[in-house]
Amino acid sequence: MLRRQFKYNVFTCFKQFYLQDEKAEDYPLWAIDEDYERLLSVDPGIISVGTISDNKMVSVIVEIAGGKADEDMSVWDQVNECTLGNI
Does residue 12 register a pLDDT over 70?
yes
Distance CA 17, CA 10 (A): 8
Distance CA 73, CA 69 (A): 9
Mean pLDDT of 55-83: 82
Q: Where are the domains of the chain?
A: 3-65
Task: Single out the residue of 6, 41, 44 nearest to residue 23, CA to CA.
Answer: 44
pLDDT at residue 85, as a whole number: 54
- Relative to beta strand 46-50, strand 16-20 is antiparallel
pTM of the model: 0.71
Q: What is the pLDDT of residues 33-58, one digit of tens each?
A: 888 888 888 887 888 888 888 899 98
**48, 14 Cβ separation under 8 angstroms:** no
pLDDT at residue 9, as a whole number: 94
Report which of residues 85 and 62 the model is more confident about. Answer: 62
